[in-house]
């Protein structure tokens, strides 16, 4: 579940990310809410490209056809401002849809060093 997402982030694997994110996916960040359509557009256009992703900590709790994952992630990449490195706490809610785990909601909070 969570490991598959981290691998997809690390390669900016658009097909995998599209498959992992539910159509109504939304992420809450300090900058506001972002939906799947906006994220896919940023990745497909190349405005945001991840060059690596790793998790320092991972927890998965499964509740039938729902699950909650919590991670500490390091994302490296490039955007219109240049190179970036993000260290963040990432919590996501997964649901099993048509036999496949997909993320419906997430919350990302940057960790200041």
Choose among 39, 50, 48, 28: nearest CA to 110: 28
Q: What is the pLDDT of residues 42-56, one digit of tens each?
A: 999 999 999 999 999
| pTM more than 0.85 | yes
Q: How far, in Å, CA of 65 to CA of 49, rounded?
A: 31
Across the beta sheet with 21-29, what order do the strands follow?
32-35, 21-29, 100-110, 82-97, 66-79, 49-63
Sign of CA dihedral 42, 31, 55, 78: positive
What pLDDT sits at residue 29? Answer: 93
- Stretches where the chain sits below pLDDT 50 are none
Domain total of the chain: 1
What pLDDT sits at residue 26? Answer: 98
Please report, for the domain that includes residue 101, its CATH number: 3.10.450.50
Domain that holds residue 15: 2-110
Q: How far, in Å, CA of 103 to CA of 26, rounded?
A: 9
What pLDDT sits at residue 83? Answer: 96
What pLDDT sits at residue 70? Answer: 95
What pLDDT sits at residue 1? Answer: 67
Q: Are 61 and 91 in contact (CB under 8 A)?
A: no
């Amino acid at each position: 579940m969570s490991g598959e997402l981290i691998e997809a982030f690390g390669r900016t694997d658009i097909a995998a990310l599209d498959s992992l994110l539910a159509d109504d996916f939304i992420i809450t960040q300090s900058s506001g809410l972002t939906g799947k359509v906006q994220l896919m557009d940023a990745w497909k256009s190349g405005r945001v490209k991840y060059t690596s992703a790793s998790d320092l900590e991972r927890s998965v709790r499964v509740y039938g056809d729902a699950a909650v994952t919590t991670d500490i992630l390091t994302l490296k990449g490039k955007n219109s401002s240049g190179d970036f490195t993000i260290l963040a706490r990432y919590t996501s809610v997964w649901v099993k849809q048509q036999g496949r785990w997909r993320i419906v909601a997430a919350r990302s909070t940057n960790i200041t060093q």
